[in-house]
Structure 1
Amino acid sequence: MSHILDVPGVRFGHAADPDAPSGVSTLVLEEPGVAGVAVHGGAPGTRETDALAPGRLGPGVDAICLSGGSAFGLASADGVQLALAERGRGYEVRGHRVPIVPGAIVFDLAGPRPDYRALGAASLAAALDGPPDRRLGTVGAGTNAMTAGLKGGFGSASARCGAATVGAAVVVNAVGSVTAADGPWFRAAPFEVDGEFGGLHAPPSADFATIRTKSGTLPRENTVIAIVATDATLTNAEANRLAIAAHDGLALAIYPSHTLLDGDTLFAVSTGKAAAPERPLGHVALAATAAAVLARAVARGVYSATPGASDRFPTWQSLYG
């Protein structure tokens, strides 16, 4: 099944508190990797993003943490960092190990607030000690994600680009909509592979122009957070450029996107297991592939969501499946 785990050199794990409901999803690099970030929403919640900017001095990234919980969820990266240090990961300074763990959060608070530090540590253990987890939908940081009119979720997809592999992982909690205003047709349908989110073909009359957003939305109830990973060797500047370009995948799958009410934060990471893309067309192809893979991941996350007791909106499957 198409997943970010298809990228050589990455592990991925989830943890959730179903009573909250909320959770954490963490990508772990087998070896420290190069990363960049692009924030294109008006209400982000992030950690360690400044350290990823081009020209900054810093070691490689050990993990990237995606969490629910609004600002409380930023503590999940603490749990990941501490657990990695206990395993001997991170750069050494004065007898200490310092893992680098950037992260971002979505707003999904609906019940009792869980221990996000503990959830972060659990997601790391799941990534490193458990079997490969390719679940989609209502899992990890996507446990209580919502979009306009439909329950959101965690999505992932992958594709080949020449000799490289590109994968995406996303938590879809957008203020906008991923489908037409008058039916089940996904905006990302032109990029679908093997009927992975229903294989539906929209009629010419399908309404993709009407603006649909969450009713009664508060300014920080939203955010899409994502990771694009590749084994293609990239510099820090190239990883940042990939993060910028991959944001097109959100615009291809969600309308409206990148709004004042979204936090839209996207990390790009390179494991360096494959050769660098040829300049310049190899980088163009890599960016286009990343955007398409991310668009597919968005649709797959919503398509795979399952019902929960505190849901504000129905799942795609309950309406159309």
Structure 2
Amino acid sequence: MMRPGARNLITDVVGLRVGNASDDRLKSGVTVVVCEKPSVAAVQVLGGAPGTRETDLLEVHNTVQTIDAVCLSGGSAFGLDAASGVQAALREQGRGFAVGPFRVPIVPGAILFDLANGGDKDWGRYPPYRELGYAATQAAGTEFATGTAGAGTGATTATFKGGLGSASTVLADGITVGALAAVNALGSATLGSSRHFWAAPLEEDAEFGGLGMPTLVSDEARRPRTKLTTAGDGPTNTTIAVIATDAILTKAEAKRLAVCAHDGFARALWPAHTPLDGDLVFALATGTSGRTVTIEEFIPLCAAAASTMARAIARGVHDATPMPDDLLPAWRAG
């Protein structure tokens, strides 16, 4: 039997901490997942418009096997600066990949486009994301805010505000899976104009409202709703996420876990993985359970990665709160 972890957050995976930093005037922010010890990592990109840093080193054939943190940021390409702030904070802590007498913190990152969301982006010569990345790293802990927080501060979907969501699952064999998602999708997390979540069949303990699925799925709900049809604003998209486990995985197995977690995007967002989304999943394996997995055990782990990711995405939209000058309503305000 599977159940949510004690916090129902990605930090139920022992060895991970999460920190947020945001600027409400900017309507943007940064979320950092800090690995207490270097962790095996991989990435899978399925969206057509990604923005990334240090993702090539995560490929199986490349040298570096473990990383120190993952950085998720708003700000489009300007937000790639956030990982430099994370790196600075980790360097102060003596963290990083050893190269002779030097240590280089390894911080892959990804960004979402939240520039046209009503926030003041007149930041002067340099964008503020490096400092936000530093602050988010300093704030990292096992408890953290979801919804309108961190990288989800200025996120939107086709119908409601987006946000930062998280969820966890403890499998029958005791292995834990956690997901974190900054939801800024071209599509919608809800059916048509309703408040019913696409991820409703996977919901645990009414974690995103408990509305279930409608008794009848109308023709209106069957039509994809995107920012192109609701706002005429196509480029303001991307859902970026992290799937994590305390199992011991190889880099190749972590890659497969990231691939499977994308199934959660398809269960929670419609449409997903479009040419105008930069949809991406980082995978982390902390190994803190001390357990390796057989192929038979890996299959339910992959299934849990998909369902946990879908729940995290729905929770990101559900947890968002209203702010001045919002362009879309918050789900909670309905």
Short-chain TM bin:
over 0.9
Structure-2 change in CA distance of 1:217 and 1:234 (3 Å): farther
Structure 1: distance between partners of 2:167 and 2:129: 26
Which residue of structure 1 aligns with residue 317 of structure 2?
Answer: 302
Structure 2: distance between partners of 1:203 and 1:149: 17
Which residue of structure 2 aligns with residue 56 of structure 1?
Answer: 62
Q: CA RMSD in A?
A: 1.3
Structure 2: distance between partners of 1:206 and 1:80: 45
Structure 2: distance between partners of 1:134 and 1:159: 18
- Secondary structure of the residue aligned to 1:184 is coil
Structure 1: distance between partners of 2:207 and 2:174: 23
Contact 2:186–2:234, Cα closer than 8 Å, also in 1: no
Instruction: Identify the match of residue 41 of structure 2 among 35, 38, 51.
Output: 35
- In structure 1, runs of 5+ residues without a counterpart are none
Q: Does 1:213 align with 2:226?
A: yes
Q: Does 1:44 align with 2:50?
A: yes
Contact 1:145–1:151, Cα closer than 8 Å, also in 2: yes
Give, as a single letter, the amino acid of the residue that structure 1 aligns with 2:289: A
Please give the TM-score of this superposition, normalised by the length of structure 2. 0.92
Instruction: Identify the match of residue 163 of structure 1 among 142, 165, 174.
Output: 174
Give, as a single letter, the amino acid of the residue that structure 2 aligns with 1:211: P
Give, as a single letter, the amino acid of the residue that structure 1 aligns with 2:266: A
Deviations 1:53-84 (A, max 9, x none): 11111141000000000000000001101111
Q: Does 1:257 align with 2:272?
A: yes
Contact 2:75–2:114, Cα closer than 8 Å, also in 1: yes
- Percent identity at matched positions? 52
User: Following TM superposition, by how much is the alpha carbon of 1:93 offset from its aligned partner in structure 2, in angstroms?
Assistant: 2.0
Which residue of structure 2 aligns with residue 278 of structure 1?
Answer: 293
Mapping of 1:130-169 within 5 angstroms? 132-161=142-171, 162-169=173-180
Give, as a single letter, the amino acid of the residue that structure 2 aligns with 1:5: T
Q: Does 1:201 align with 2:212?
A: yes
Deviations 1:64-108 (A, max 9, x none): 000000000000001101111111000222432101000000011
- In structure 2, runs of 5+ residues without a counterpart are 1-6
Deviations 1:253-310 (A, max 9, x none): 0000000010001000000112445322211111100110010001111011001123
Deviations 1:3-60 (A, max 9, x none): 0011100011000111101100000000001001000000000011111011111141
Please give the TM-score of this superposition, normalised by the length of structure 1. 0.95
**Greater per-residue strand proportion:** 1
Which residue of structure 2 aligns with residue 118 of structure 1?
Answer: 131
Q: Does 1:237 align with 2:243?
A: no
Structure 2: distance between partners of 1:178 and 1:219: 17
